[in-house]
Amino acid sequence: MALGDDLFGVHGKALALRSQRLGLLASNIANASTPGFKAKDIDFSEALAAAEKPGTSVSSAIESATKFRVPLQPSLDGNTVELNTEQTQFAENAVAYQTTLAFLNGRIQTLTRALRGE
């Protein structure tokens, strides 16, 4: 177990997972009009549970929890991106990312004050 795991607990891994998920959702949005593009998403709960297991890296947890999204209405060109769904998921994940980041910043400030003896 790394020192960061002791200091930040699950939040460090959560931040890394949310960051990767933001990138994947942004890719889906960018490819909304690409014929044949298959939208993917990371099952955050599954990825976090996997990342918490000893010896499992965040990247392997992401790989195992990345799934193709099943569209509600398939398009004729084979693209499975539904822009409204992707934008909603992106916004929700961005808020969760900011919340996790704020928590970690608060934890770092607390540790810094403790080290200074304040």
27-60 tens-digit pLDDT: 999 999 999 999 999 999 999 999 999 999 999 9
Say what the pLDDT of residue 117 is: 87
| Residue 67: strand pairing partners | 41
- Using CA atoms, how far apart are residues 72 and 80, in angstroms rounded to an integer? 9
Domain locations in the chain? 3-116
Q: Which pLDDT band, with edges at 50, 70 and 90, does 13 fall under?
A: very high
pLDDT tens, residue by residue, 51-87: 999 999 999 999 999 999 999 998 999 999 999 999 9
pLDDT at 1 over 60: no
Say what the pLDDT of residue 6 is: 62
| Residue 66: strand pairing partners | 42
* Residue listed under structure tokens 């960051």: 19
pLDDT at 108 over 80: yes
Q: Where are the alpha helices (DSSP H) in the chain?
A: 3-8, 10-30, 44-51, 58-65, 83-116
Burial level of 13, CB count in 10 A (0-12/13-18/19+)? buried
